[in-house]
Structure 1
Amino acid sequence: MEADIASQSVGLGSSVDFSLWSLFLRADIIVKSVIVLLIAASIYTWAIIIEKFKLFKKINLSTQEFEEKFWKSRSAESFYNNLPANIDDPMSNVFKKTMQVVLKSRSRSNLNEKLSGLLESNIENEVNKLEKNYSFLATVGSTAPFIGLFGTVWGIMNSFQSIAVSRNTSLAIVAPGIAEALFATALGLLAAIPAVVAYNKFNNDSKKYSQRLENFAKRFISTI
């Protein structure tokens, strides 16, 4: 009798498909929702990573080119007049917006204070653009493991219910539910780890670029 039960359990276990798609299809609506949410978060995270990587590579090159041309120019006003209208670079935007106000201003009193305020405001606006979606990366990095853990706990609870209903503690009964639960945990880590690494890297890149803008602002004020 025991041999028959064991052979049936082995047969059941060997017939169970443990592919990722089969695990998803067998999961209940709660675990499926967790899996879909984590996959969507992971896809959007990688989209942000690719976009930010391209952005910082682009602006580092364009800013270097801008600085080289600016410090070789005869004056800030002549450089501003010859600046292309369609240029898209944070440092160029800071310079353009500041010069627009300076040239329109008739009063030259307290020019250093006005320039400092303008540059600080314009730098803050450009840095905020660079830091767009950072909060999403931080949120995914901190919450995805717990969302995956919730799916894991829910899947294990379903496995225990299967044991109670079937009154069979064989591995063939609990293995599918446990596999679904661990799948949710793996997805949570898969979404969280790249998000945390990307947030730390791009946050550091933003700080370096912000310092670069501030250094330019100081030199620009002294030149004016």
Structure 2
Amino acid sequence: MDTHTLAAAQEIDFSLLALFARASLTVKIVMLMLAVASFWSWSIIIRKFITFRAARREAATFDRAFWSGEPLDELFDAIGPAPEGASEKIFAAGMLEWRRSHRQDGELIAGAQARIDRSMDVAIAKESEHLTSGLPFVATVGSTAPFIGLFGTVWGIKVAFEEIAISQNTSLAVVAPGISEALMATGLGLLAAIPAVIFYNKLSTDGDRIISGYEAFADEFATILSRQLDTE
């Protein structure tokens, strides 16, 4: 490499901002898309960690109250028909249907057990939807970001080769900036995708465990009510 070429290459700014500024419009759009997708997925990830932690804490608190020996009617009166916590909502759905299944004379309406189970299943489905909201976007970022970045790289290399053909100069000072700008798009794609894939798997597993806990509680509660129904 001659001294003139080496000096020209050393004068080129290869900082991230400089690479972005020199990139073509298409590559800039790709980079911005990846940056926004990464920021959005991180916001969902952080929010889900907070939500799951609160859900586990609420479930543990309610579980202690439920198994404390306090009469279920008194517990239901204490939390009310429209509670805040997910476990409380499932319990309230079952208890509300339990009370609605009694006539004024105290007799049960036929099919009470099926209606109670269905009410709690609906409550679990709503809580499951709330817990998993946003995760499909994180999964989409994890699966598509590398390909979006690759598209930006391919387009950037195409533009770089066009500039080389126009200038008819294949020196490092001409080739390096264009290739660097193009590869930056792939780097951003991987930077967005890798955390998204890792945390999607983590959050999906945690969400499934929480939902399984809700379903287990609903089954236990339904069993208790079933015993009560058999005695009436």
Deviation of 1:86 (Å): 7.6
Rate the CA distance shift 1:113–1:85 in 2: closer, same or farther, 3 A: closer
Count of residues paired in the alignment: 220
1:14 aligns with 2:10: yes
Q: Which deviations, in whole Å up to 9, do the C-alpha atoms of 1:107-149 show, x marking residues without a partner?
A: 4322221111111111111101100011101110110000000
Q: Distance in 1 between matches of 2:50 and 2:81?
A: 22
Contact 2:81 2:92 survives alignment (8 Å): no
Q: Which residue is equivalent to 2:105?
A: none
Deviation of 1:217 (Å): 0.7
Q: Distance in 2 between matches of 1:180 and 1:104?
A: 67
Contact 1:73 1:79 survives alignment (8 Å): no
TM-score between both structures, scaled by the size of structure 2: 0.90
Contact 2:139 2:196 survives alignment (8 Å): yes
Equivalent residue for 1:63, pick from 51, 55, 59: 59
Worse overlay, 112-121 or 124-133: 112-121
**C-alpha RMSD over aligned residues:** 1.6
Q: Distance in 2 between matches of 1:76 and 1:12?
A: 80
> 1:179-190 residue pairs with structure 2 within 5 A?
179-190=180-191
TM-score between both structures, scaled by the size of structure 1: 0.93
Deviation of 1:178 (Å): 0.7
1:140 aligns with 2:141: yes
1:204 aligns with 2:200: no
Contact 2:97 2:116 survives alignment (8 Å): no
Deviation of 1:11 (Å): 1.9
Which 4+ stretches in 1 moved above 6 angstroms? none
Contact 1:98 1:115 survives alignment (8 Å): yes
| Identity, % of aligned positions | 40
Which runs of 5 or more residues in structure 2 are unaligned?
A: 103-107, 226-232
Deviation of 1:95 (Å): 1.3
1:41 aligns with 2:41: no
> 1:91-102 residue pairs with structure 2 within 5 A?
91-102=87-98
Q: Distance in 2 between matches of 1:202 and 1:136?
A: 13
Q: Which deviations, in whole Å up to 9, do the C-alpha atoms of 1:190-213 show, x marking residues without a partner?
A: 111111111111111111111111
1:223 aligns with 2:196: no
Which runs of 5 or more residues in structure 1 are unaligned?
A: none
Q: Distance in 1 between matches of 2:72 and 2:158?
A: 69
Deviation of 1:48 (Å): 0.7
Worse overlay, 100-109 or 208-217: 100-109
Contact 2:82 2:92 survives alignment (8 Å): no
Equivalent residue for 1:77, pick from 51, 73, 78: 73
| Counterpart AA for 2:122 | S
Equivalent residue for 1:88, pick from 79, 84, 87: 84
| Counterpart AA for 1:125 | K
Contact 1:98 1:118 survives alignment (8 Å): yes
Contact 2:142 2:192 survives alignment (8 Å): yes
Q: Which deviations, in whole Å up to 9, do the C-alpha atoms of 1:7-36 show, x marking residues without a partner?
A: 332121111000000001001110000000
Rate the CA distance shift 1:118–1:84 in 2: closer, same or farther, 3 A: closer
